[in-house]
Each structure stands twice: as C-alpha cells, then as structure tokens.
Amino acid sequence: MNKNKTRPLKIVLSVCFVVFVLALAGFLYFAYVFLPEKVAESIVAKSKTRLPINWTPQDEGIPYQNVSFTTSDGVTLSGWYIAAPKARKPLGTIILSHGVFKNRGQVLSRAVFLVKSGYQVLLFDHRGEGMSGPSPVTGGVLESEDYLAAVAYLKTKHHLNKPVVFLGFSLGAISALRATPPCPEVDAVIADSPLPNVKSYVSRRGMGGQLANLPGFFDCCLKDYDQLTGLSLKASDLDLVPVVRHFDEKPILYITGEADDLARSSEVRALFNETQTHHRSLVYIPEAGHEQTYSLYPAVYEQAVKTFLNEVRENFPEPKEEELLKHFKKVPDAVKPKGVLDKIKAITQHSL
C-alpha cells in the first residue's frame, strides 16, 4: 500500500527532473549556440551599413584636402587633412578618429577646435567605416594599423610636425592606444571614452545583455564572429590592460563621461591606474554620456585637451595646479558644470 502511494510521487519527480533537464538544455542551447550566432550576425550586419558623411570642414569655413592612404594589410582609408592656419607654423600634428559604426564626421567638431588652436589635423574613416575600404570590425586590433598608416602617409607628405598626438574616441581611442607602443613617431595619446574590453559592448549595446557575463559566452560569440569574417580573434586579444602596461612612457590623457553607460568612468579609471607611464592624466566630464564628452561642455573639454597638449609641447614641466585652474577660469561661467573645479584638481592628483 505504501508503494502505491509513493509511485505517483516518483512519477511527478521524474517528470519534474525531465522538464528541468530539458529546460536546462534549452537554456544552454540558447545561451551558447543560438544567441552567440545572433550576436555575431548582428555585428556583421551593422558593419555593412555605412553612415553618410553629411558635414565637412567646408561647412565650418575651413579649407581641407580629401586624402587617401593604404594600410600595411592593403586597406585603403579615406580622410581629411586640415592644415594649421597659414599665419603660423603648426603647433603639432593631431591624428584623429571616431567610434564604431560611425565616420570622421563624428569627430569633426574636435578637429575644428584643434585647427583653430594652431594644430594640423588628419582625421580619417577607420577601415570598414565611412568611405574607407571594407574590413570587419575587430575592436581595435586591426584598426590600430589605421593609425600607423596615417603616420606613414604624413611622413611621405612631409606633414609630420612634432609633437605627433593620437586622439581617438571610443573605438578610435582603443585603436590609438594599441597603435602607440609600436609607433616611435607618436609623442602622446588622448583616449576619449575607451572601452577597456570590447566584451562590455556585447552586453551593453549588443544582443548579449546580462548573458554576456556567463562563463564562455563571449568566447562563443567570437568563435561565430570569426567563422563569419575569416578572423581568428580571441578574448585575450581584445583586452587593453596588457597594452597600457607596456606604454613605453608615452604621455596619455584619458577622458571619460561620468554618466557613460558603455565605457564606464570606473572602468576608464581602472585602465588609467594600469597605465605605465610617468605622465598620465584623467579628466571626468560631469553628466556626460558616451557620446557627450565633447558636446555637453565643449569649453571644458577643449581646455583640458589644450592644457595637455601644451604640457606635451613643453615636455611636462613640474605640475602647477594653480596654472591649470587659471586656464580653467577663462572658461565662461555659463558652461562650467557644477563640481568641475573639483574634477580639474583631480587631474594633477592622479598624475605620476
């Protein structure tokens, strides 16, 4: 009689176990097979959609040249060369690039203020973007070659006035950081909103969501992406920390938006802490999201960049916080966000 009573219970437990196993198998299939394929396919599809360039230096009344140059692996890049104002010798050379799935138009406003400040600027479309030749997105691994090609192009045209500074935003910042150690010509780097690891893009902008944090999920995405693109990327290839740990003492300025939900300021700060160089600075832009570091408070951004560039040109004299604050006071009160003076002070406190 007891056996008859326990039999239905065993059946229920068996059914529950089977349902659990099937649910677990379904979840694992979804998380490690179906979704990684979709993540990879979505990135490939998005990279094939080119945004038009609707804004040129001419719209700002600035003369420029359309230029093109070829990378070491045969990709033709398109860009604009903007000379410094004719009345003076260039204060230096800025090589400038944009974020993922964008084009040079995204950073044109930065180029305009740099040219007006006396620098010559070469801004270009990364491979696979804008008007440049086709290439899969690689999170800065191959895109770093674009910066090296830009340097080689300027050298052949005798336009490589010192100091030479890489300035990149988002993917451009990642690429600039990766291009710096193997490039003896570059004197400094400005990294605006770099992602320390591209894995965060999959979870915060891609289809991965929170599942991107599962062990092995990102590796599955890369495996599928490699199959679609013919690449052979590994997760370790996309980690910036080993790159900045071997920075060969090149000066660097990090810029981060405090409200950035993609390249979070805490992560940029951690990357800053890992950077091995005697001259490093970190600027926080209050309230700024990922694409707002320049647009939200341009006068603050410009002053921070110009101060850093002046220090590069002067070979970094002893830090003088009062001098930095004096420059900042020139910024109109209307564009000073609350708490910026505290953030400006933090720059020299965190420099080595």
Point out the domain boundary residue: 215, 233, 251.
233
pLDDT at 229: 96
Indicate whether 276 and 142 sit together in one domain.
Answer: yes
Bin 299: left if φ > 0, else alpha if -120 < ψ < 50, else beta: alpha
Indicate whether 215 and 181 sit together in one domain.
Answer: no
Which percentage of the chain shows pLDDT scores above 70? 88
Point out the domain boundary residue: 179, 207, 233.
233
Indicate whether 202 and 335 sit together in one domain.
Answer: no
Q: Give me the number of domains the chain comprises.
A: 2
Evaluate whether residue 328 is within a structural domain: yes
State how far the alpha carbon of 117 is from the alpha carbons of 83, 91, 262, in Å: 12, 8, 30
Point out the domain boundary residue: 189, 206, 233.
233
Rounded mean pLDDT of 307-320? 84
Evaluate whether residue 2 is within a structural domain: yes
CATH number, domain at 326?
3.40.50.1820
State how far the alpha carbon of 119 is from the alpha carbons of 78, 116, 324, in Å: 20, 7, 21
Which percentage of the chain shows pLDDT scores above 90? 70
Indicate whether 8 and 110 sit together in one domain.
Answer: no
Indicate whether 82 and 225 sit together in one domain.
Answer: no
Confidence band, pLDDT 50/70/90 cuts, at residue 259 = very high
Indicate whether 177 and 154 sit together in one domain.
Answer: yes
**Residue-wise pLDDT tens digits, 333-343:** 544 455 554 55
Indicate whether 116 and 252 sit together in one domain.
Answer: yes
The contacts of residue 274 (CB under 8 Å, 6+ apart) are: 241, 244, 245
pLDDT at 340: 53
**Residue-wise pLDDT tens digits, 140-157:** 999 999 999 999 999 998
Indicate whether 79 and 184 sit together in one domain.
Answer: yes
State how far the alpha carbon of 295 is from the alpha carbons of 50, 130, 149, 186, 187, in Å: 23, 21, 29, 27, 26
| Mean pLDDT (the chain, rounded) | 88
Indicate whether 172 and 240 sit together in one domain.
Answer: yes
Rounded mean pLDDT of 252-281? 94
Does position 232 have pLDDT exceeding 80, yes or no?
A: yes
pLDDT at 85: 86
**Residue-wise pLDDT tens digits, 79-89:** 999 999 876 78
Evaluate whether residue 257 is within a structural domain: yes
DSSP 44-100: HHHHT-PPP----GGGGT---EEEEEE-TTS-EEEEEEEPPPTTS--S-EEEEE--T
State the Cα–Cα distance between residues 174 and 232, nearest whole angstrom: 19
Amino acid letter for position 185: E
Indicate whether 328 and 245 sit together in one domain.
Answer: yes
pLDDT at 324: 53
pLDDT at 125: 98
Evaluate whether residue 18 is within a structural domain: yes
Q: Of 97-111, 161-175, 232-246, which gets the smallest average pLDDT?
A: 232-246
pLDDT at 127: 97
Virtual CA dihedral for 98, 102, 106, 108, nearest 10 degrees? 70
Confidence band, pLDDT 50/70/90 cuts, at residue 352 = very low
Indicate whether 131 and 181 sit together in one domain.
Answer: yes
Evaluate whether residue 54 is within a structural domain: no
Does position 331 have pLDDT exceeding 60, yes or no?
A: no
Indicate whether 42 and 65 sit together in one domain.
Answer: no
Confidence band, pLDDT 50/70/90 cuts, at residue 345 = very low
**Residue-wise pLDDT tens digits, 172-186:** 999 999 999 999 999
Does position 225 have pLDDT exceeding 60, yes or no?
A: yes
Q: Of 159-168, 204-213, 247-256, 326-335, which gets the smallest average pLDDT?
A: 326-335
Q: Which residues span the domain enclosing 5?
A: 1-49+198-233
Does position 170 have pLDDT exceeding 70, yes or no?
A: yes
Beta strands in the chain (DSSP E): 65-70, 76-82, 93-97, 120-124, 164-169, 188-192, 252-257, 280-285
pLDDT at 223: 96
